[in-house]
């Protein structure tokens, strides 16, 4: 048994209570029909191989990728992304998964930098080109993709309003990447149901709040949850195996994830994860935090489980994506991580370029944050690299705990005071909670995992 992240394991039955434990979080709007389902009765998964991308943040280069305002906005919006390279990175990744002849590809949201209409148009054209070549692509929206006030371009020393797209326009643009062939569409959101191979249903869940403009946080709206629950029931009746994808995290990926960065795990996450687990969804693919991490939930009565496989941003070093294979005979899922090591424009030296570019932005961001707290330039030089290291280590996955999370030698009393208030977060980011994050085997019948072969 792995050590769960605090709060990650649903509570056990209270003494004397029979049957499955109830959802633990108050205020859930879910009905109880799927909460009493017998997960062992869920259908067997068919043999399949698929790829998973997240947060590719495609950016139309014609909107401008240089100048002080561009960099100022990158730091202000915490955009540690290889935006200039994003079209070539995506193309390389699409080439690789096409060559592998995967059955389908999931893209877990944040398809564009900030929902710019021209970025979406170019991306939709590119994805359609690969769809025509036989790559079955399913997308879902991320928080950056729709009704985003940050959509803009840069001309010299001027910002230009870029114009974002609406929810209906998103579904229309990606008609060939999930929406057109959807078995069902949720009237209340951009969620839909796909059957990319016979016998396998993929619930593509819109966890974003685009109806209210740009929001970083995520939520499964009550009506969308009801819609999803009805499909869980139908899947059981029709003998369909279930997977899901969504942009925001469904489980915590480090101790205190929801407390430290509440916008990165959906509201009511434990009760919703438990509903999905009991309804037969065994693995959910997510993105948003730009990190490689896999977390597991086991229900309090040990009868159901669910994995949240979070994939790092394709546009941020080390530019990872996943290849997932299910063996029908053994009902084992094998998750493998690959990284982009070259693009058309950089056949050599791409990882080094990606690392240095992202590191420089991350360093600038950490310094900006610390300076905002009146930390001296000298203390910033000592502390910023340590802050960056914690996020980098978490982002790569399989964190190896440093002997000492923080070295405060030479730091002034004020610098120490400021960083001590962040110590719990930095230590949590260094924490490796099982299972392993990059390569993993999952027994889809028992929920056990095994280390990479």
Mark residues 100-129: x for contact with Fe ion by CB under 5 A, - for none.
----------x-------------------
Q: Give the pair of three-digit tokens for residue 222.
A: 């009550």
Nearer to Fe ion, 42 or 112 (CB): 112
- In the complex, minimum distance from the CB of residue 295 to Fe ion, in angstroms, rounded to a whole number: 17
Q: Does 312 bind Fe ion (CB under 5 A)?
A: no
The span from the CA of 111 to the CA of 53, in Å, is: 10
Task: Please give the Cα distance from 9 to 34 (Å, whole number).
Answer: 18
The CB-of-251 to Fe ion minimum distance in angstroms stands at 16
Q: Residue 240, interface with Fe ion (CB under 5 A)?
A: no
- Each residue of 244-269: b (16+ CB within 10 Å) or e? bbbbbbbbbbbbbbbebbebbbbbbb
What's the min distance (Å) between Cβ of 169 and Fe ion?
A: 19
- Can residue 320 be called a binding residue for Fe ion (CB under 5 A)? no
Which C-beta is closer to Fe ion: that of 55 or that of 399?
Answer: 55
* C-beta of 108 vs 418, nearer to Fe ion: 108
Of 142 and 255, the one with the shorter C-beta distance to Fe ion is 142
d(CA 58, CA 47): 31
How would DSSP label each residue in 428-446? HHH---SS-SSSEEEETTT
Q: Which residues of 162-183 are buried (b: 16+ CB within 10 A; e: fewer)?
A: bebbebeebbebbebbbbeebe
The reply on whether position 288 binds Fe ion by CB under 5 A is yes
Q: Does 293 bind Fe ion (CB under 5 A)?
A: no
Least distance between Fe ion and beta carbon 290 (Å): 6
Question: Minimum distance from CB of 396 to Fe ion (Å)?
Answer: 17
- Backbone φ, ψ for residue 420 (5° rounding): -60, -30
Residue number, 136 or 286, with CB nearest to Fe ion: 286
CA distance 280 to 278: 5
Closest CA to 224 of 188, 248, 276, 275: 188
Output 65 or 230, the one with its CB closest to Fe ion.
65
Calpha distance 283→288 (Å, rounded)? 17
CB of 86 to Fe ion, least distance (A): 11
**Which of 34, 56, 136, 143: binder of Fe ion (CB under 5 A)?**
143
Q: How many residues bind Fe ion (CB under 5 A)?
A: 5
Cβ-based nearer residue to Fe ion, 263 or 373: 263
**CB of 143: closest distance to Fe ion in angstroms?**
5
Min. distance of Cβ 55 from Fe ion in angstroms? 4
Is residue 145 a contact residue for Fe ion (CB under 5 A)? no
Residue-by-residue DSSP string for 255-304 = TTHHHH-GGGB-TTHHHHHHHHHHTTEEEEEE-SS---EEEEEE-TTSS-
Collapsing DSSP to helix, strand or coil, 321 comes out as strand
By beta-carbon proximity to Fe ion, the closer residue of 110 and 268 is 110
Binding to Fe ion (CB under 5 A): which residues in 38-57? 55
Question: In the bound complex, what is the minimum distance in angstroms from residue 436's beta carbon to Fe ion?
Answer: 23
142 part of the interface to Fe ion, by CB under 5 A: yes
Nearer to Fe ion, 286 or 343 (CB): 286
Collect all residues with Cβ–Cβ distance below 8 Å to 32 and sequence separation of at least 6.
none
**What is the number of other CB atoms lying within 10 angstroms of the CB of residue 237?**
7
Cα–Cα distance, 50 to 106 (Å, whole number): 8
Residues in contact with Fe ion by the rule CB under 5 A: 55, 110, 142-143, 288
């Amino acid at each position: 048994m792995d050590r769960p992240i605090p709060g990650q394991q649903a509570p056990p039955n209270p003494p004397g209570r029979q049957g499955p434990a109830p959802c633990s979080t108050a205020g859930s709007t879910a009905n109880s029909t799927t909460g009493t389902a017998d997960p062992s009765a869920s259908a067997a998964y068919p043999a399949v191989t698929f790829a998973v991308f997240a947060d590719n943040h495609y950016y139309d280069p014609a909107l401008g990728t240089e100048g002080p305002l561009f960099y100022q906005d990158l730091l202000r919006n915490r955009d540690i992304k290889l935006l200039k390279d994003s079209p070539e990175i995506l193309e390389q990744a699409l080439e690789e998964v096409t060559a592998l002849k995967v059955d389908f590809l999931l893209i877990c949201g944040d398809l564009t930098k900030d929902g710019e209409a021209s970025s979406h148009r170019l991306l939709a054209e590119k994805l359609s080109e690969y769809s025509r070549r036989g790559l079955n692509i399913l997308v879902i929206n991320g928080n950056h993709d729709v009704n985003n006030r940050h959509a803009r371009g840069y001309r010299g020393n001027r910002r230009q309003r870029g114009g974002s797209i609406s929810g209906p326009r998103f579904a229309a643009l990606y008609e060939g990447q999930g929406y057109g062939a959807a078995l069902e569409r949720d009237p209340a959101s951009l969620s839909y149901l796909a059957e990319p191979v016979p016998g396998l249903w993929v619930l593509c869940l819109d966890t974003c709040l685009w109806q209210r403009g740009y929001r970083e946080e995520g939520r499964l709206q009550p009506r969308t949850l009801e819609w999803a629950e009805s499909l869980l029931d139908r899947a059981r009746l029709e003998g369909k195996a279930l997977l899901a994808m969504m942009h925001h995290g469904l489980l915590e990926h480090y101790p205190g994830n929801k407390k430290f960065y509440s916008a990165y795990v959906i509201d009511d996450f434990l009760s919703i994860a438990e509903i999905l687990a009991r309804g037969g969804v065994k693995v959910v693919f997510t993105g948003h935090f730009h990190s490689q991490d896999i977390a597991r939930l086991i229900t309090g009565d040990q009868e159901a489980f669910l994995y949240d496989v979070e994939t790092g941003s394709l546009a941020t070093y080390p530019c990872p994506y996943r290849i997932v294979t299910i063996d029908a005979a053994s009902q084992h899922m094998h998750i493998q991580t690959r990284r982009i090591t070259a693009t058309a424009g950089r056949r050599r030296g791409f990882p080094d370029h990606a690392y240095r570019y992202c590191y420089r932005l991350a360093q600038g961001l950490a310094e900006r944050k610390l300076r905002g707290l009146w930390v001296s330039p000298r203390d910033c030089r000592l502390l910023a690299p340590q802050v960056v290291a914690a996020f980098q280590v978490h982002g790569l996955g399989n964190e190896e705990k440093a002997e000492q999370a923080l070295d405060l030698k030479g730091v002034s009393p004020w610098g120490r005071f400021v960083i001590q208030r962040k110590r719990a977060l930095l230590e949590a980011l260094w924490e490796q909670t099982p299972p392993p994050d990059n390569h993993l085997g999952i027994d889809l019948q028992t929920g056990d995992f095994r280390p990479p072969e």
